[in-house]
């Protein structure tokens, strides 16, 4: 601030006052400009930080997809998805006898690829040390040096082995490290993803290891894999009081993971054969939702409320739909007679199939649904994914993950919407 001047007479005094006034105005303007620039810079830094925090795009690649689905690593490249992914979760390794084990060794390491099928157009030879998905992933990473790959263990079908693993977490962690870092494919993987369904709760089988078991297992995995490897985990989305999130110490284990993948899909489905119909991956609640806490926003708020940092939470999206048949009501909440027919399994089908077979004709709770004939389906579309990305950004989440790559169209409609 300029100090007040004493009154002066004559031209010299007038000039002096004018000069001082001009100087003061300049200084004030300069100070204002500097403050504005600083504020703008801080906004830019905040925006950059938020963008960085929300930039992860993690897609699951299924080992068995190379069979009936005829979806191969090359399809990640030709669909344009490789350019949009930051990480791939290779699903699944098995958990047997309390230790990490191979899933399908033929698909993973032995299946030979022709030049036409191969990522880089070079055919496998009979005597090369590594073939299969692992070698194709190696080739994909060579084309995309920033792309990271994690080996995911467990899943719905292969999680029963975690109960024994929880009895000796250090032995489990060592077995996983020795397998993931095997010299034949050590360069393929950048870490491990634990998909235990579910600690101290029931999935395909029930676990009674206790609430602390999960934290102890994840601590052992992080200790063995060290800070130079990624350690992530898929976790349940059940935010109800006393539900699956409450069953294990996910907040305590958060210090050991780079991020969590809360499975914010499959809230509802045709396992409730007669309905009521409801979208399997609602972003928010809506009038008539069968279970009040069964939506993504409730899951994220519950996990954040436990003290898990927003940046360690990714928003989950399904590249598939779930459906019922025998439904006469277009809006959610109708009764059904059973699961709708799916290409590979009753009550479920890929987005790429449903967009043509039963196009979406309604939205609720931030996701889409479709009523065609007597079938009722729910699934995400590019438009609803865009809305979910707005939510992800506003919530400051670390990014997005999805199950799974083969459900998208051949030109990657859904992953484009994520980006």
Q: Quick count: other Cβ atoms within 10 Å of Cβ 29?
A: 10
Strand partners, 349: 321
Task: Tell whether the torsion through CA atoms of 144, 148, 152 and 156 is positive or negative.
Answer: negative
Rg (the chain; Cα; Å): 27
How are beta strands 314-318 and 99-101 bridged, if at all?
unpaired
Q: Give the whole-angstrom CA distance, residue 202 versus residue 149.
A: 29
Q: What is the mean pLDDT of residues 222-238?
A: 98
* Model confidence at 240: pLDDT above 80: yes
pLDDT tier, 54 (very low <50, low <70, confident <90, very high otherwise): confident
What pLDDT sits at residue 372? Answer: 98
Which H or E run contains 44?
Answer: helix 10-53
Coil vs helix vs strand at 371: strand
Whether pTM > 0.85 for this model: the answer is yes
* Model confidence at 28: pLDDT above 80: no
Q: Are 232 and 176 in contact (CB under 8 A)?
A: no
- Does the annotation mark 197 as catalytic? yes
pLDDT tier, 22 (very low <50, low <70, confident <90, very high otherwise): very low
What pLDDT sits at residue 34? Answer: 55
* Model confidence at 148: pLDDT above 80: yes
What pLDDT sits at residue 227? Answer: 96
Q: Which of 45-49, 62-66, 336-340 is predicted least confidently?
A: 45-49
Q: Are 169 and 214 in contact (CB under 8 A)?
A: no
Query: What is the DSSP code (8-state) at residue 130?
Result: -
Q: Give the whole-angstrom CA distance, residue 231 versus residue 193.
A: 6
| Residue 380, both tokens | 């995400």
**Geometric angle at alpha carbon 264, from 362 and 220, rounded to 5°:** 170
Among the listed residues 63, 77, 197, 404, the single catalytic one is 197
| Residue 323, both tokens | 């459906």
How are beta strands 148-154 and 191-195 bridged, if at all?
parallel
What pLDDT sits at residue 50? Answer: 43
For residue 206, say if its preceding peptide bond is cis, omega within 30 degrees of 0. no
How are beta strands 148-154 and 99-101 bridged, if at all?
unpaired
Strand partners, 371: 376
Q: What is the mean pLDDT of residues 365-381?
A: 98
What pLDDT sits at residue 262? Answer: 98
pLDDT tier, 233 (very low <50, low <70, confident <90, very high otherwise): very high
Q: What is the mean pLDDT of residues 337-349?
A: 97
Give the pLDDT confidence of 160-182 residue by residue, as tens digits. Answer: 999 999 999 999 999 999 999 99
Average pLDDT along the chain: 91
Q: Which of 2-16, 120-134, 192-206 is predicted least confidently?
A: 2-16
């Amino acid at each position: 601030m300029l100090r007040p001047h004493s009154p002066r007479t004559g031209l010299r005094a007038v000039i002096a006052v004018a000069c001082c006034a001009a100087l003061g105005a300049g200084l004030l303007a300069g100070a204002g400009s500097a403050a504005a620039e600083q504020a703008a810079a801080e906004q830019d830094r905040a925006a950059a930080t938020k963008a960085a925090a929300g930039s992860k795009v993690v897609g699951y690649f299924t080992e068995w997809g190379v069979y009936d689905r005829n979806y191969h690593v090359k399809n990640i490249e030709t669909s344009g998805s490789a350019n949009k992914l930051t990480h791939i979760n290779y699903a699944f390794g098995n958990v047997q006898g309390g230790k990490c084990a191979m899933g399908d060794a033929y698909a993973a390491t032995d299946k030979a690829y022709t030049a036409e099928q191969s990522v880089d157009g070079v055919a496998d030879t009979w005597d090369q040390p590594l073939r299969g998905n692992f070698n194709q992933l190696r080739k994909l990473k060579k084309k995309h040096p920033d792309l990271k790959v994690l080996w995911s263990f467990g899943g719905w079908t292969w999680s029963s082995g975690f109960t024994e693993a929880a009895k000796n977490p250090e032995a489990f962690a060592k077995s996983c490290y020795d397998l993931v870092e095997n010299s034949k494919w050590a360069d393929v993987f950048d870490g491990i993803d634990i998909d235990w369904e579910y600690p101290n709760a029931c999935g395909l089988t029930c676990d009674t290891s206790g609430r602390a078991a999960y934290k102890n297992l994840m601590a052992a995995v992080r200790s063995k894999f060290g800070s130079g490897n990624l350690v992530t985990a898929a976790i349940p989305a059940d935010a109800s009081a006393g539900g699956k999130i409450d069953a294990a110490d996910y907040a305590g284990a958060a210090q050991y993971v780079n991020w969590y993948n809360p499975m914010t899909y499959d809230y509802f489905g045709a396992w409730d054969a007669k309905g009521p119909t409801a979208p399997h991956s609602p972003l928010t609640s809506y009038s008539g939702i069968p279970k009040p806490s069964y939506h993504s926003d409730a899951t994220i708020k519950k996990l954040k409320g436990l003290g898990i940092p927003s940046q360690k939470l990714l928003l989950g999206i399904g590249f598939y739909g779930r459906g019922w048949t025998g439904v006469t009501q277009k809006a959610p909440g109708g009764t059904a007679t059973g699961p709708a027919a799916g290409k590979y399994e009753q009550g479920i089908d890929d987005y790429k199939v449903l967009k043509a077979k039963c196009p979406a004709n309604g939205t609720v709770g931030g996701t889409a649904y479709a009523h065609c004939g007597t079938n009722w389906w729910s699934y995400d579309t590019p438009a609803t994914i865009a809305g979910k990305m707005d939510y992800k950004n506003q919530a400051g989440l670390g990014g997005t993950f999805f199950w799974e790559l083969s459900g998208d169209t051949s030109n990657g409609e859904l992953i484009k919407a994520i980006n």
